[in-house]
Structures are given as structure tokens and as C-alpha cells.
Amino acid sequence: MFLSSYTSKSWIKAAAFVALVLAVAGTTVAFADSLVVKTADGKVHGKTLNSGKVRAFEGIPYAAPPVGDLRWKAPQPAKPWKQELDATKFGPHCAQGHFFDDMIFQDNGMSEDCLSLNVYTPAAASKAKYPVMFWIHGGGYTGGGSDEPRHNGDFLPTKGVVLVTINYRLGVFGFLATPDLAAEQGGTAGNYGMMDIVAALQWVKKNIADFGGDPNNVTIFGESAGSFAVSTLMATPSAQGLFHKAIGESGGALTTGPLTMSPLSVAAPKNAEAMKPLGATLAELRAVPADKIIAATSKGGEVRFSPILDGKFLSEPVSDVYAEGKQAKVPLLAGFNRDEGYFLANGMTADKWKATSVERWADKAAAFLKLYPGTSDTEAVRSATDFGGDQFIAFGTWKWIEIDRRTGDKDVYRYKLDLAAPPSKFHVGSYAFHSDDIEYIFGTLDTRPGAVWRDEDRKLSDQMMDYWTNFAKKGDPNGPGLPEWPKYGEADPVLHLDNPITARPDENRARYEFWLDSEKK
């Protein structure tokens, strides 16, 4: 009733006066309309987080629902909307089986209709556009989602960046390749999940300026499969020009390992065999409910669905692209964690380690044991942890860093997370384990169930957030108040993220060269 007595002109004057008074008093005000942003597809209405310090726009479609006839096809444009879109809650995470206990979701369930993204911006306006950090979640290309609490956008934007987190198709829905699909799609098939990531990057290029982000300063970053994706996108022609810096955390798609890429000619027959019980034709397969497909393809693990050399999206091995210097020439920050392979050390003894080494490496066992010694049970446990981590993640990440240093023509920064995190609900013992870095980088330590954090953890988290956002801003992680992070050059300096942070030459290069030599043979 009170507002109705104002004319529209009087209300505008009154609002301007209040804003002026609050500005003089040093108070930052975000009026309601600052939570409404017009995208190319329609208006979205967001919310604030972190006591009003961050604007959040969640569940924004960046492509059409990949369902029905669009299942196992390249992402198509989202249908524009006329009404204001409620962007205050997450969209569904992509259809997937249960693979990882520590993946917790905040949405209302999973769905094939999952191609959405979230945008988080500093609430304070800036005359200059903010750098954009584009997060690709991990999960072996089979699990995960943008709405996991550890990826929350409450804190990273307070460092002066716009954060984008995305969903992309996973497992059989994201990477199925069969001869029938190849025939339908002009001789190529698979990689739909990777195409989704490129479509999301194209959405960013088209829309992020309306959220205060700089489309000409985009950093892609990801962990595990997300890091494999970052290294792959650098070698993907359709992704070139959509990002300007890259960060890889524990993973590189340049070697054999858990996410090795197969040629279409190898993957397609295996995939077709796995799908045979579900239907004889593509029309039949596209009519099968998602849960039945998940149940049928999650048994036994005989077939793994992940990126392949399909002849179009990826026309040659990623390692060849880098060796030839044809990857995106962008600054790179990458590394891994100290205890990526701690799971291999369970029950290890000196005698077991020696026997395992001789069995695995035969005539190379003596050289292997010099690099991974086991003269005592304690030493054997440490070496088994190192070996497991090198085989699983570290060597592939090192190879990516090493090749890009030689052929990328841009600055490279390398790290190793050494600080052992305290035990938590899903991680017994104190390790710098695989995925341990995520909560540190996002400032979301308190989302990890059961962990009792120390002062050194919170300090390191703040330092890592500064390093990562500094890199996004200017391609150099260094900044005021931080220990110096030298470029990765002839002296092989590695920044050890620990208490305290130190930089020193690579202490394990001989191990990675051993793997490199073994790979060649």
C-alpha cells in the first residue's frame, strides 16, 4: 500500500537517493534486478551466496535435452524460453551408475536431460570483465556432476573470477560408439560427452559477458577425468579459440592407462556387443529406458566408455598432436598429489614388494627397485604408494607437462600436493589422495564429511585459491603474499603444496623416465 502511493518517477528518485546514501556510507548494494541476466536464449533469475558476496545462476540449459532421437548425437542448441528461467537450483546430474561413494549430489536426481551449467560471479560490479574459470568435473567419464558440494561456487569468485561448472554426458550415454552409429553419422561416432563440453564453452563465449565475465580470458580446469579432458581439449580442433589458459589436476590423456583412447575400429565392435542384449537397431536402443541401459552396461566392467579416436572430433592420438606442436598454445598449470596410489600399499611388506617387482619387471627388476626401493616394510609401503600413483596418474600427467613444455611455446607451471589431509568419512588415514585437491582449490573444505581441518589446511586452501585465480587472471600464478612459483624450465622446479610451500627441482624424474622407456618398448 505504501509503495502504491508513489509515482514511478518518485520511486526512481527515492531509489537513487537511497543508493547514493548507502554508497557514501561504504555499503555495497545489489538491487534485485542484478540477479536477472538476459542470455541469448532468455532471461535467468539467480540468487546470492556467501552472505551476498557471490551471485549464483544454476541449472541453465546450454544445449537441448539429449533424449529420444537425440540420444547418442552431437549436442543441439537449447530451445529459447520466453518466461524468466528460475536459476536458483541445480539441474539434474547426468545419468550414471553408482561408482564412487564420495560423489554426493545436491540436485533432485539424475536424468538424461542434464545438459546444464552454473555461473557464479562476484557480487561487486567491475568496470573490467572478470576472468572466467570453466570447471570440468572428474569421475572417470562415468560419474560425477557439477552440483557436488566440493565444487560449490560460494568462495572461488570472491577471488575476482567468474566460475562456470558444467554437466556433460557420461558413460554409455556420453561415449557409446557402434558401427550403426558410425553409419548414421557419416563414419564417426562417440565422444558426445566431449562435444557437450565444447558446446558449453561455446555457450560461455556467447553469453558470459552478460554475467560480467571476459569471453577472451577463459581458463579450463579439471581434475582426474576433467584433467584428461583439459589435455584432450588442447588437442581438439573444435575447441581451439574457446579457452586461453589450462589447468590440469591429476590426469593427462597422453599415455596408456585407465582412460586410454581406442580407435573407432576397435571400440565400435566391443560397444556393439555390449549393447546387443538391449536392442538390434538404433531405434530400439533409443527407446530403452536409461536405467535399463545403465544396469546392463555397468556389470563386470568389460567395456569402458570414454573418449575414442573417432576420426572427426579426434582424428589422431592426443600424444601425436602434442609431439607435432599442434595443440592449443596456452599457458599451462598442472600437477598431481603425493599419494594418488595409496590404495596399492595396503598390507604391503618388503618381501611382497620384492616378489611383486621381480614378477612384474623380470630383467628390469633391479633397476625398478632402485627407483622404488623396499628394504623395509615401511619403505615398501611408500614405494608401493609411489608406484601405484605413477602408474595410475602421475606419469601421464608428467608426460603431458613435459611434452607441452617442449612444443607448447607458452609458460608451464608444475605442482605436487604433498600436505596429507586429515581422515574423513570416505578416506581412512592421512593422505594426499586422488581428488584431495578439489576442496582446497574451491575453498570448500567444510563440505568434506567427517574431516577435522587444521589451520595449515585452511591456509593452504587460501593459497591454492590465490595461485589458481592469479593464473586465470594473467597466466602466472604468482602474486603478493605467496611463495614464489618458478616456471617449469631446465631446472625442473616443482612447487610443493605443503606446510610450508616450497619449490625445488624434480626429485622423481628418473622414475618417469623409467616409465617413458618402458612405454617405448
The series of mean pLDDT values per 10 residues for the chain, 521 residues long, is 34 37 37 81 98 98 98 98 97 94 95 98 90 98 97 98 98 97 97 98 98 98 98 97 98 83 94 94 97 88 83 95 97 98 92 95 95 97 96 96 97 98 94 97 98 98 98 98 95 96 97 92 70
For the chain, percent helix, then strand, then coil, each to nearest 5? 40, 15, 45
Instruction: Look at the block and give the residue holding cell 552478460.
Output: 210
**Would you say 134 and 198 are in contact if contact means Cβ atoms under 8 Å apart?**
no
Best CA proximity match to 102, nearest among 454, 439, 442: 439
Best CA proximity match to 168, nearest among 197, 204, 210, 133: 197
Confirm whether 45 is a catalytic residue. Answer: no
Question: Is residue 450 classed exposed, middle or buried when 0-12, 13-18 and 19+ CB atoms within 10 A define those classes?
Answer: exposed
DSSP label of 450: T
Strand, helix or coil for residue 415 = strand
* pLDDT reported for residue 33: 57
Alpha carbon distance 306, 288 (integer Å): 21
The catalytic residue among 340, 357, 439, 496 is 340
* pLDDT reported for residue 30: 41
Domain residue ranges in the chain? 1-30, 34-520
Determine the length of the chain: 521
Alpha carbon distance 291, 313 (integer Å): 28
The catalytic residue among 93, 244, 434, 496 is 434
Best CA proximity match to 444, nearest among 105, 185, 151, 112: 151
* pLDDT reported for residue 300: 61
* pLDDT reported for residue 9: 39
Strands 245-249 and 332-337: parallel
Alpha carbon distance 85, 174 (integer Å): 26
CATH architecture classification, 34-520: 3-Layer(aba) Sandwich (3.40)
| Helix (H) or strand (E) run with residue 85 in it | strand 85-86
The catalytic residue among 116, 146, 224, 461 is 224
Confirm whether 224 is a catalytic residue. Answer: yes
Best CA proximity match to 296, nearest among 306, 288, 284: 288
Confirm whether 340 is a catalytic residue. Answer: yes
